[in-house]
């Protein structure tokens, strides 16, 4: 491969990496909100599936992508409300409830899809790339970064906004305090439970958005289990990013790169490794990430623990 | 539950009867929570069917009773119960130790791969050697696959929730690679391994039914795990680690070793389930030999309150629901994934009812 071709390959790779990172960026930033408030939501996978399905169903009915995205967020938050009710109000074990919601999300979306949509066999019109004037004409860089759809661009905004909210507002400060020292928040007269509810709802709304991107901005169809583990990979992204939204943006990009490499290398006939090795790449890298980055120290100290008022 | 018996009495029989009565009463109380949870889940399932234009009453009539038609269909239920009891009982041990092994599905596949390797090779062994060897290989492979996640947790504090799930995907991809590549039966149109040698097959209980001795092994092992957890000192320290690792360390218990043991036991049970699927049911390795038994096992364990003995009952129940949902799909075109929804709701109801019971107990 000559230099020009290689540069084109890199540009396409970078563009694909960002696109494939998008659902992870939304989901992991959402999970950061929730975990910063002390709530570990391993039901992210099921939540993303619900978002993907709701987004698809709404766009299918109305033909509108913005409405689809809103439906994805709403679906995620509805699922989040169930999670919050069980873990915060009833104070049930967060891991058990998360595992149940994963089953429920998988089951419900597959059930409804098979009942109403599978026989239609029709897809939807997905979000089209928007070329940014001038910038998109830059050789290679333009191809990679300035010819994406609006959902992909919005990840930058979400990461910055999330970071500002978490670290520069009093809401963010209280939210983080709820995860570190809920008793202090309680004594200061603020309601721990409502902050946790807010954190979970923001988190699952973003996870729903990440799921909706899969059907509205990436593939034009809902497929059973379309998230294929992204909800779990997002959990590892959070650890790697040390619970920072900006960090999660870049770590997700890294994982997006693994996905993109897998897709692009599969298309290369000259590659000798079996395609399954490439397929396993994101999963293997997730494990490697957890081993290399021992992020326990940065975790919110009350992560996973219900708050009992005494 | 057990009674501390101090005074010596001449006639111990009335006392034994009393103790039995107490145990029975306790069992009924313990069974109330899961029973209520199952009822709630079935009601939700019925409502869901009704809302979507299906006949809601099917949930009870078909899902519960639909699969009890004759001896053969009962045998099929027990066949499905085998992996669920094995995995569920194994996960009880892990969950008691607060090890969140979500990777039973991958461990099942690891066991199935190993069982296939052993079962397609070593021609000429007697069935008395080959069949147990296949089971052993499955259990060891499952334990090893789970052991990876255990080691990463103990050594690098890597969350076992994430690593076991990633190992699920990797095991599935590995299986797909093996049956399309190195282990593929070239003569078959569909990707699958060669057929296992007949001596490696798990013996059937009745020759004209698919039910094999795996169900007996599953029940025996579930009882053994119950005794291990409740009566052995290792089982005790596993439970202490699960309740409070700091206290366990302070008491001189080896937390890391207990974590590894809990992980490997649950992995071995899942691996054995995989071996039985290959050696007892399909006799070949396929890409999709498990319809999600590894995930269903989580629901089995939680419904059983992490008690391996109760996992026999809850495994049987989930197998019944799964068989019923197959009948339902055929008779009423209800998507079979309904069973996943019911599993999810069962777990949610169990945790909710258990919490509410605990709160009542504290208040009272």
Distance CA A251, CA B1 (A): 51
Indicate yes or no: CB of B352 within 8 angstroms of CB of A291: no
CB nearest to B173's CB, from A82, A95, A279 = A279
Residue in A with minimal Cα distance to B178:
A276
Residue with tokens 């099942």: B108
Quick one: pLDDT at residue A269? 64
The predicted structure's pLDDT at residue B13: 67
Query: Is B6 buried (19+), middle (13-18) or exposed (0-12) by CB count in 10 A?
Result: exposed
Q: What is the mean pLDDT of residues B343-357?
A: 88
Interface touch B352/A92, C-beta < 8 Å:
yes
Q: Is A99 close to B152, i.e. CB distance below 8 A?
A: no
Q: d(Cα B355, Cα B364) in Å, to the nearest integer?
A: 14
The pLDDT value recorded for residue A297 is 59
| Cβ-based interface (< 8 Å): residues of B facing A | 48, 52, 100, 102, 152, 156-159, 161-163, 165-167, 169-170, 173-174, 176-177, 181, 295, 298-299, 302, 335, 337-345, 347-348, 351-352, 354-356
Residue of A100, A118, A303 to mutate, testing the B interface (most B Cβ within 10 Å of its Cβ): A100
pLDDT value of position B24: 79
From the list A91, A105, A283, which residue is nearest B170 (CB)? Answer: A283
Contacts of B52 in chain A (CB under 8 A): 111-112, 115
| Residue A239 confidence (pLDDT) | 86
**CA triple B179-B185-B186, angle to 5 deg:** 115
pLDDT tens-digit profile of B230-288?
999 999 999 999 888 888 888 888 899 999 999 999 999 999 999 999 999 999 999 98
> Closest-CA residue in chain B for A42?
B161
Instruction: Let me know: does A74 contact A132? Beta carbons within 8 Å.
Output: no
| A1 located within any domain | no
Condensed to tens digits (0 to 9), the pLDDT of residues B316-326 reads 999 998 998 88
Instruction: Quote the minimal CA–CA distance from A33 to chain B in Å.
Output: 19
Q: Which residues pair with B204 in a beta bridge?
A: B212
Among B141, B146, B174, B173, smallest CA distance to B160 is for B146
Give the pLDDT confidence score for residue A135 in this predicted structure.
Answer: 79
Q: Does residue B18 sit in helix, strand or coil?
A: helix
3-state secondary structure of B127: helix
- What residues of chain A lie within 8 A of the CB of B100, using their CB? 95
Is residue B170's pLDDT more than 70? yes
Query: What pLDDT band is residue B7 in, cutting at 50, 70 and 90?
Result: very low
Question: Comparing B217 with B12, which gets the higher pLDDT?
Answer: B217
Structure tokens given for A74 = 């709403």
Contacting residues for A176 by C-beta, under 8 A, at least 6 apart? A36, A37, A166, A300
Q: Which token pair is B153? A: 């947790």
Report helix, strand or coil for B121.
coil
Q: Choose among A106, A115, A279: nearest Cβ to B52.
A: A115
**DSSP code of residue B57:** T
Domain that holds residue A173: 11-118+133-298
Distance of CA A26 to CAs A21, A32, A108, A210, A237, Å?
9, 10, 22, 5, 11
A204-234 CB burial, b ≥16 within 10 A, e <16? bbbbbbbbbbbbbbbbebbbbebbbbbbbbb
Q: What is the pLDDT of residue A78?
A: 97
In chain B, the residue whose alpha carbon lies closest to the alpha carbon of A115 is B335
| Distance between A93 CA and the closest CA of chain B, angstroms | 8
Lowest-pLDDT choice from A99-103, A148-152, B62-66, B223-227: B62-66
For residue A100, the model assigns a pLDDT of 93
Q: What is the pLDDT, as a whole number, of residue B203? A: 92
Neighbours of B61 (CB within 10 A): 12
Q: Chain A: residue nearest B157 by CA?
A: A294
A50 CA: distance to closest CA in chain B (Å): 13
Q: Do A283 and B337 touch (CB under 8 A)?
A: no
Q: Which residues on chain B are in Cβ contact (under 8 Å) with A294? A: 156-158
How many residue contacts between A and B have a Cβ separation below 8 Å? 133
DSSP 3-state assignment of B184?
strand
SS3 letters across chain A: CCHHHHHHHHHHHHHHHHHHHHHHHHHHHHHHHHHHCCCCCCCHHHHHHHHHHHHHHHHHHHCCHHHHHHHHHHHHHHHHHHHHHHHHHCCCCHHHHHHHHHHHHHHHHHHHHHHHHCCCCCCCCCCCCEECCCHHHCCCHHHHHCEECHHHHHHHHHHHHHHHHHHHCHHHHHHHHHHHCHHHHHHCCCCHHHHHHHHHHHHHHHHHHHHHHHHHHHCCCCCCCCCCCHHHHHHHHHHHCCCCHHHHHHHHHHHHHHHHHHHHHHHCCCCCCCHHHHHCHHHHHHHHHHHHCCHHHHCCCCCCCCCCCC
Q: Which residue has the higher pLDDT, B175 or B360?
A: B175
pLDDT < 50 positions in chain A = none
Architecture of B70-334 per CATH? Orthogonal Bundle (1.10)
Q: Which of B162, B302, B339 lies at the smallest CB-CB distance from A96?
A: B302
| Phi/psi at A147 (5° precision) | -130, 55
**Cross-chain Cβ contact A99/B335 below 8 Å:** no
In chain B, alpha helices (H) = 13-51, 58, 71-96, 104-120, 127-156, 160-180, 214-231, 233-243, 245-250, 255-276, 293-303, 308-332, 338-363
Q: Is B5 left (phi over 0), alpha (psi -120 to 50) or beta?
A: beta
Q: Does some domain include residue A95?
A: yes
Please check whether residue A155 lies inside any domain of the structure.
yes
DSSP secondary structure, B138-162, as one string: HHHHHHHHHHHHHHHHHHH---HHH
Nearest to B348 among A100, A105, A232 (CB): A100
Cβ–Cβ gap B351/A92 under 8 Å:
yes
Is B117 strand, coil or helix? helix
Q: Are A115 and B342 in contact (CB under 8 A)?
A: no
Average pLDDT (B79-104) is 96
Domain contains A272: yes
For residue B166, give the nearest of A224, A276, A286 by CB distance: A286
Q: What is the per-residue burial (b if ≥16 Cβ within 10 Å, else e) of A179-199? A: bbebeebbeeeeebbebbbbb
Local confidence band at B357 (pLDDT 50, 70, 90 cut-offs)? confident
Is the confidence at residue B363, as pLDDT, over 70? no
pLDDT reported for residue A106: 94
Q: In percent, how much of chain A has pLDDT > 70?
A: 96
pLDDT at B26 over 80: no
Q: How many domains does chain A have?
A: 1
Q: What is the mean pLDDT of chain B?
A: 89
Query: Alpha-carbon distance B229 to B190, whole Å?
Result: 44
Provide the token pair at B311. Answer: 């996992």
ipTM score: 0.89
Distance from CA of B218 to the nearest CA of A (A): 24
| B25: confidence class by pLDDT, cuts 50, 70, 90 | confident
Residue of A nearest to B342 (CA): A104
B336 pLDDT tier (thresholds 50, 70, 90): confident
Instruction: Decide if pLDDT at B298 tops 60.
Output: yes
Contact state of B345 with A100 under an 8 Å Cβ cutoff? yes
Q: Do B302 and A236 touch (CB under 8 A)?
A: no
| Contacting residues for B140 by C-beta, under 8 A, at least 6 apart | B114, B268, B271
CATH of the domain at A157: 1.10.3470
**Averaged pLDDT, B26-38:** 82
For residues A163 and A165, give the distance between their C-alpha atoms in angstroms, rounded to a whole number.
6
Interchain proximity A90–B352, CB inside 8 Å: yes
Residue B6 per-residue DSSP state: -
Residues of A in contact with B354 (CB under 8 A): 92
Q: How far apart are CA A269 and CA A30, in angstroms?
A: 38
Distance from first CA to last CA of chain B, Å, rounded? 20
| Closest residue in chain A to residue B53, using alpha carbons only | A115
Helical spans, DSSP H, in B52-61: 58
Please judge whether A284 and B299 are an interchain contact, meaning their C-beta atoms are less than 8 angstroms apart: no
Q: Which of A101, A114, A284 sits opposite B344 (nearest CB)?
A: A101
For tokens 């109403």, name the residue.
A116
> Are the beta carbons of B343 and A107 separated by less than 8 Å?
yes
Measured distance CA(B165)–CA(A99) in Å, rounded = 11
Closest chain A C-alpha to B291 CA, distance in angstroms: 13
What's the confidence (pLDDT) of residue A310?
Answer: 55
Position B199 confidence tier, pLDDT thresholds 50, 70, 90: very high
pLDDT the model gives residue A131: 79
């Amino acid at each position: 491969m000559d230099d020009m071709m290689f540069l084109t390959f890199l540009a396409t790779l970078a563009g694909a990496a960002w696109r494939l990172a998008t659902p992870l960026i939304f989901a992991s930033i959402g999970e950061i909100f929730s975990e910063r408030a002390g709530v570990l939501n391993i039901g992210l996978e099921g939540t993303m599936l619900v978002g993907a399905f709701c987004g698809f169903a709404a766009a299918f009915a109305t033909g509108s992508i913005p409405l689809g995205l809103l439906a994805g967020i709403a679906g995620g938050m509805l699922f989040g409300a169930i999670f919050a009710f069980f873990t915060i109000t009833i104070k049930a074990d967060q891991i058990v409830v998360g595992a149940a919601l994963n089953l429920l999300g998988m089951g419900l979306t597959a059930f409804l899809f098979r009942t109403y949509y599978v026989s239609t066999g029709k897809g939807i019109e997905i979000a089209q790339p928007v070329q940014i004037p001038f910038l998109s004409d830059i050789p290679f860089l333009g191809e990679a970064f300035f010819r994406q759809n609006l959902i992909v661009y919005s990840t930058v905004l979400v990461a910055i906004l999330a970071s500002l909210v978490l670290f520069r507002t009093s809401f963010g400060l209280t939210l983080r305090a709820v995860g570190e020292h809920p008793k202090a928040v309680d004594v200061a007269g603020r309601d721990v439970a409502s902050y946790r509810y807010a954190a979970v709802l923001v988190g699952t709304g973003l996870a729903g958005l990440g799921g909706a991107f899969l059907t509205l901005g990436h593939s034009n169809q809902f497929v059973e289990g379309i998230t294929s583990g992204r909800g779990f990979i997002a959990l590892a992204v959070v650890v790697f990013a040390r619970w920072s939204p900006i960090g999660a943006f870049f770590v997700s990009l890294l994982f997006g790169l693994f996905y993109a490499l897998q897709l692009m290398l599969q298309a290369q006939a000259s590659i000798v490794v079996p395609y399954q090795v490439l397929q396993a790449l994101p999963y293997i890298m997730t494990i490697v990430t957890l081993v290399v980055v021992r992020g326990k120290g940065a975790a919110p100290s009350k992560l996973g623990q219900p708050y009992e008022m005494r | 539950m057990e009674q501390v018996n101090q005074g010596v009495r001449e006639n111990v029989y009335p006392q034994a009867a009393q103790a039995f009565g107490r145990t029975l009463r306790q069992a009924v109380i313990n069974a109330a929570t899961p029973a209520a949870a199952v009822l709630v889940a079935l009601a939700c399932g019925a409502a869901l069917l009704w809302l979507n234009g299906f006949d809601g009453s099917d949930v009870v009539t078909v899902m519960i009773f639909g699969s009890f038609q004759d001896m053969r269909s009962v045998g099929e239920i027990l066949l499905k119960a085998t992996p669920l009891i094995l995995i569920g009982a194994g996960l009880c041990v892990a969950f008691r130790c607060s090890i969140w092994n979500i990777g039973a599905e991958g461990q099942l596949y690891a066991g199935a791969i190993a069982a296939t390797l052993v079962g397609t090779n070593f021609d000429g062994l007697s069935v008395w050697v080959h069949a147990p060897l296949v089971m052993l290989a499955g259990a060891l492979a499952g334990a090893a696959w789970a052991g990876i996640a255990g080691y990463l947790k103990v050594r690098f504090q890597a969350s076992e929730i994430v690593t076991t799930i990633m190992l699920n995907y990797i095991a599935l991809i590995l299986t797909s690679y093996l049956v399309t590549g190195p282990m593929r039966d070239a003569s078959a149109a569909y990707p699958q391994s060669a057929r296992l040698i007949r001596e490696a097959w798990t013996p059937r209980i009745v020759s004209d039914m698919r039910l094999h001795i795996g169900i007996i092994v599953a029940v025996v092992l579930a009882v053994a795990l119950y005794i291990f957890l409740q009566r052995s000192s290792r089982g005790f320290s596993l439970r202490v680690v699960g309740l409070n690792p700091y206290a366990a360390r302070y008491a001189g218990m080896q937390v890391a070793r207990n974590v590894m043991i809990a992980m490997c036991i649950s992995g071995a049970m899942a691996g054995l389930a995989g071996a039985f699927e290959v050696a007892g049911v399909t006799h070949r390795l396929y890409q999709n030999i498990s319809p999600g038994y590894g995930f269903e096992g989580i629901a089995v364990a939680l419904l059983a309150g992490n008690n391996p003995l109760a996992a026999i009952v809850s495994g049987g129940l989930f197998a019944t629901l799964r068989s019923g949902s197959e009948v339902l799909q055929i008779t009423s075109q209800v998507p079979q994934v309904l069973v996943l929804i019911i599993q999810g709701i069962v777990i949610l109801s169990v945790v909710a009812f258990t919490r509410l019971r605990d709160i009542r107990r504290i208040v009272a």
